[in-house]
Structure 1
Amino acid sequence: MIGIVRAGALTTVQDLGRPGYAHLGVPRSGALDPSALRLANRLVGNPEQHAGLETTLTGCTVRLRSAGTVAVTGADAPVRVAGRAADVGKPIAVPAGGLVEVGPARWGVRSYLAVAGGVAVEPVLGSRATDMLSGLGPRPLRDGDELPTGPVTALPAPVDFTLSAAPPTVLHLPVRLGPRDDWFTDEAVERLLGTTYTVTPVSNRVGARLAGATLPRAEAGELPSEGIVLGAVQVPANGQPLIFLADHPTTGGYPVIAVVTDVAPLAQARPGTTVRFHGPQR
């Protein structure tokens, strides 16, 4: 078992999500930075799809009831195990009853804590991921929660260190226009692809809200709700783009001007990060 001593601002159980259920109104969910979760699992000897903990900015503190191995990846943060400083990106042995403290992120937003055996909460539709929008999976963690772990099936990875780099201050995001770029003026498309936007504090696992040049519409009518995919750049009535992330809704009524083909960099983008979209013009 893992005891949650300090849950932090937002700590959730995440794996690689539950793809394939959009037709039932269920988004993929899963880790916003899947590469970081995969690495954490590999370091402790887990299969990559095992569930771990995703923290947000302030980290978390957990207690292992039995001796085990953990690893922390993703956003760089101070880590202490049983009162001693430990390294990000390495397997760490934890004694029975030992505290694992993940501090506030020095850079980036989300850290990932994997434990040998994985977090073994009950799966929903084949995944243990917390979905903040639909409420599927376990609720966000609170102080005092207890989480079961699964059986250890392999030894930790024999590595001395892993490489990590701070996220860039400017994110360059590839996009494909459509499906509703025809609802926007040529000027709107030029602004989207030719100006910079900023990640705002009103961002979460559902989507990253941006601030920048307003995207004027060519169509003033209402759009019936239609399917939404990961990375969809939806434009609400205020004309400011919103990029949908892992916990996005599966339908929406505002037009989607483009789709970001790789949203992973947004997982570690703090408010104030500059975003530039790149893609073919009309």
Structure 2
Amino acid sequence: MIVIERVGPLATIQDLGRPGWFDSGVGLSGAADRGSCALANRLVGNPEGAALIEVLVGGVRLRVDRHHTLAVTGAPAPAAVDGVPVGRASVLELDAGQTLGLGLAQRGLRSYIAVRGGIDVAPVLGSRSLDTMSGIGPPPLRPGDRLPVGPAPPTFPIVDLAPVAELSADAVTARVMLGPRDDWFTDPGALFEGEWSVSPDADRVGARLDRRTGPPLRRRIRDELRTEGMALGSIQVPPSGRPVIFLADHPITGGYPVIAVVIDADVDLVAQARPGQPVRFRRAAR
């Protein structure tokens, strides 16, 4: 059992999502930074899709009621066991009564806490993830919550510390494929000029961008667009001209034109971009 003693801005239970429900209007959801989720689980010997805790910015403290193996990945929030600092992306052995605390990350946005055996709350439609847009899944964590832990898997951690690249506060460069509605804009190439920045209006649904430098995006076609499917990483442009990059909890349909789509390999980088951080777009190689 894991007991939540403190929660920062937001902490939720996530896994790698609930595929196969688009025809019922339910999106994939799951961890916003899938790579960090998978790494945290590998470090404790779990399958990559085991349920864990996604922490926004930091500020979480939890206590274990028996020996547990944990790992913290993603945004480098300073971590400490009983107040003693521990390394990032390392395998942590906590005994009964010990606490793991995360301070506030100065870079990146989302950290991940995995426990060997996974968070064993009841799945909804095959996933333990909270979809913040639909409300499907377990509610956000609160102080006093007690989280059951599943049985330990037969595999074991094989490293004490994983070498991971540092997240930067510099501009995030996201590779994109133009379309399917780039022809609705007078100059779709304006997307690649200058820089954008992540606005404060960003969450697990999507990251809205403000123009930092460069020309605005202007619509050539003013007609209304019929509702159509939306993919993870879609860059939808509402009438304001401020693009929104769709993230884990994005709607599965939308009515504004999608000028481009961030390639899957770069979606995790966008999910870790903080408000105010610059974003640049580059054409993906075909």
Contact kept, 8 Å, 1:71 with 1:113, in 2: the verdict is yes
Contact kept, 8 Å, 2:178 with 2:261, in 1: the verdict is yes
Q: Could you tell me how far apart the structure 1 residues matched to 2:200 and 2:52 are?
A: 25
Give the AA of the match of 2:127: S
Q: Could you tell me how far apart the structure 2 residues matched to 1:207 and 1:68 are?
A: 34
For residue 171 of structure 2, what is the aligned residue in structure 1?
170
Matched, 1:248 2:247: no
For residue 196 of structure 2, what is the aligned residue in structure 1?
197
Q: Could you tell me how far apart the structure 2 residues matched to 1:247 and 1:106 are?
A: 24
Q: Could you tell me how far apart the structure 1 residues matched to 2:233 and 2:24 are?
A: 19
Q: Could you tell me how far apart the structure 2 residues matched to 1:33 and 1:193 are?
A: 24
SS of the equivalent of 1:269 reads coil
- Give the TM-score normalised by structure 2: 0.93
Q: Could you tell me how far apart the structure 2 residues matched to 1:148 and 1:160 are?
A: 25
- Give the TM-score normalised by structure 1: 0.94
Deviation at 1:195? 2.5
Give the AA of the match of 1:264: D
Give the AA of the match of 1:171: V
Against the structure 1 CA distance between its residues 30 and 136, is the aligned structure 2 distance closer, same or farther, given a 3 Å change threshold? same
Instruction: Report how many residues are paired.
Output: 279
Give the AA of the match of 1:130: L
Deviation at 1:280? 7.2
SS of the equivalent of 2:202 reads coil
Contact kept, 8 Å, 1:108 with 1:166, in 2: the verdict is no
**Deviations along 1:159-187, whole A, 9 cap, x unmatched?**
232222332412221111111112111x2
Against the structure 1 CA distance between its residues 154 and 107, is the aligned structure 2 distance closer, same or farther, given a 3 Å change threshold? farther
* Structure 1 residues not aligned, in runs of 5+: none
Q: Could you tell me how far apart the structure 1 residues matched to 2:167 and 2:76 are?
A: 10
For residue 84 of structure 2, what is the aligned residue in structure 1?
84
Matched, 1:128 2:132: no
For residue 183 of structure 2, what is the aligned residue in structure 1?
182
For residue 17 of structure 2, what is the aligned residue in structure 1?
17
For residue 143 of structure 1, what is the aligned residue in structure 2?
143
Deviation at 1:20? 2.4
101-110 or 201-210: bigger deviation: 101-110
**Deviations along 1:142-161, whole A, 9 cap, x unmatched?**
11111111011246423232
For residue 157 of structure 1, what is the aligned residue in structure 2?
157
Matched, 1:231 2:233: yes
For residue 266 of structure 1, what is the aligned residue in structure 2?
270
Identity of matched residues, %: 50
For residue 117 of structure 2, what is the aligned residue in structure 1?
117
SS of the equivalent of 1:37 reads helix
For residue 39 of structure 1, what is the aligned residue in structure 2?
39
Contact kept, 8 Å, 1:2 with 1:65, in 2: the verdict is yes
Give the AA of the match of 1:175: V
Give the AA of the match of 1:252: G
Contact kept, 8 Å, 1:91 with 1:156, in 2: the verdict is no
Contact kept, 8 Å, 1:59 with 1:111, in 2: the verdict is no
Q: Could you tell me how far apart the structure 1 residues matched to 2:47 and 2:14 are?
A: 14
SS of the equivalent of 1:198 reads strand
Give the AA of the match of 1:157: P
Deviation at 1:222? 1.3
**Deviations along 1:220-262, whole A, 9 cap, x unmatched?**
1211211111011100110111100010001111111111113
Against the structure 1 CA distance between its residues 144 and 184, is the aligned structure 2 distance closer, same or farther, given a 3 Å change threshold? same
SS of the equivalent of 1:8 reads coil
Give the AA of the match of 2:282: H
**Deviations along 1:77-102, whole A, 9 cap, x unmatched?**
21111332222211111111211111
